[in-house]
Amino acid sequence: MLEICEIFNSIQGEGWRQGIPAVFIRFSGCNLRCKFCDTPQAFTEKNEMTEETIVKTVKRLAKKYPGITNVVITGGEPYLQDFSMLVGMLKKAKFFVAVETNGTIWRKIPADWICVSPKLQAKKILKNGYDERFKHIASEFKYVITRRADFAFIDKEISQPVILQPVNNNLKIARMICNEMKKNGMPNWFIRLQQHKLLEIK
């Protein structure tokens, strides 16, 4: 049994793979409490579901939209729960499975794509705010930027794409990110806004 907040259709609005239609599985609960969290429902809404029921729900939603072949597992923090069996079942059903995590909890999950989004408050327990083992398997890293000082938190040893996302699509912060990237950026840094919010869709 897994604790699920919601399952819904949308587009991937964030990160390297933004713009791709997908079925989202939002897990309940998180081990961090970020001030800028935009999914407070993950703390309050919880439904216990079997892996079989989740896959059945995903298939039903995808059947309505034949263009959907992607699943995004997000939260909250999915890695609070062992969802490796769910990933295996979704891949067997021919879905491409992406996972979003804050990177503080290590599990070896056989996902097709792993986005690690380190949070500053996690630096109290982990040197760079995430478990170093993710550096070897993550597909991308994503940092939510709230102020110029956040640039000091970015791990410059990451070789994967690093997405810099202005909090709440704040244009003033976005312009600041652009200026910082021009002066001190790395070749693998990219600025991205949250597409789903710009389009005003879930």
- CA separation for the pair 71, 57 (Å, rounded): 12
* Residue pointed to by tokens 């407070």: 40
Catalytic pick from 37, 112, 146, 190?
Answer: 37
Q: Exactly one of 5, 27, 95, 100 is catalytic; which is it?
A: 100
Q: Which residues are registered as beta bridge partners of 7?
A: 25
Q: Which of 5, 14, 27, 30 is catalytic?
A: 30
69 is an active site residue: no
The question of whether 136 is a catalytic residue gets the answer: no
Catalytic residue among 3, 180, 190, 196: 196
- 178 in catalytic set: no
Which residue in the list 8, 36, 38, 132 is annotated as catalytic?
38
- The reply to whether 30 belongs to the active site is yes
- What is the β-pairing status of strands 21-27 and 2-11? antiparallel
Give the tokens for residue 34.
């970020």
Is 164 within 8 Å of 144 (Cβ atoms)?
no
Catalytic residue (choose from 3, 39, 43, 69): 39
Identify the active-site residue in 24, 27, 83, 151: 24
Alpha-carbon span 152 to 38, nearest angstrom: 23
Q: Is 34 a catalytic residue?
A: yes
Sign of the dihedral through C-alpha 14, 155, 96, 80: negative
3-state DSSP call for residue 35? coil
Catalytic residue among 34, 57, 112, 190: 34
Which positions are catalytic? 24, 30, 34, 37-39, 100, 196
